[in-house]
Structure 1
Amino acid sequence: MIQRAILWLAAAYNLVIGAAALFAPAEHVEARVVGLLVLCFGVVYALVASDIARFRPVLWAGVIGKAGVVVLMAPLVQAGLLPGYVGVILTGDALFMAAFVWILLRREGSG
């Protein structure tokens, strides 16, 4: 099922990016806290993937979180205030946000 695959991919994406930020020794504590929260969202997406019918509504938190991150950080990337790789991460966030909306709007028994 494509929905489950998307959710497991989102979980892995968040776990990897979150762990990288959390355990980056040179990062400030604020960046490490963000990494922890990103990692926690990865756990949430894994939980949803394990039982989509039961946890599907939880994806609204992912939609809101990813939309918020993109809206807040994209202008900083465009202004050159954040490294270019952050733009790549934000593109992934935007794609996952769109996928989450698609999953949320699908009928319960479909795809």
Structure 2
Amino acid sequence: MVTRWSLLFWFAALFNLLVGLPMVLAPDMAAGMMGLPPPSPDYVLPLRMLGACILVFGLSYVLIARDLDRMRPVIWLNIAGKLSVVALTAHAALGAGVPQDTIMAAGGDLLFVAAFLACLARRPAPRADSP
């Protein structure tokens, strides 16, 4: 059954696909989308690796969307991942110029954190069957 919470995680999966796929397949384009210059050859592989990690997180959102109750603990891992992006971006923004697009992306991750927490708070954990 499709619920608003499963739709949230399908949307998160699509978001990660749209962010991660360009990083893997077209790092120059992805850098431009983030307001950064094209990566030097030394940074193409790390950018592609980051994109691959984003795609893996996206796959976890698909698993959650398909079975919210069973995959509930994985939501906490996703919250930790998104908060790490927000923290790293905030730290970088304090010390140096961070492109506005990168800050906006981190803000989007913060909105996802709030939505994921709302899901956990408003959708009670399933009760274990007693023998």
Shorter-chain TM band: 0.7 to 0.9
Deviation at 1:31, TM superposition (A): 1.3
Deviation at 1:64, TM superposition (A): 0.3
* Residue-by-residue CA offset, 1:65-109 (whole Å, 9 max, x unaligned): 000110011232455533221112111111111111111223147
1:50 to 66, 69, 80: 66
The correspondence of residues 28-39 of structure 1 with structure 2, limited to 5 A, is 28-39=44-55
List gaps (5 residues or longer) in structure 1.
none
RMSD: 1.7
If the length of structure 2 is used for normalisation, what is the TM-score? 0.75
| Cα distance between partner residues in 2 of 1:23 and 1:79 | 30
Q: Which has the larger radius of gyration?
A: 2
The equivalent of 1:107 in structure 2 is 124
Give the partner amino acid of 1:21.
M
Task: Answer whether contact 2:16 2:55 (CA < 8 A) is retained.
Answer: yes
Task: Answer whether contact 1:77 1:86 (CA < 8 A) is retained.
Answer: no
If the length of structure 1 is used for normalisation, what is the TM-score? 0.87
List gaps (5 residues or longer) in structure 2.
29-38, 127-131
State the identity as a percent.
Answer: 35
The equivalent of 2:5 in structure 1 is 3
Alignment: residue pair count: 109
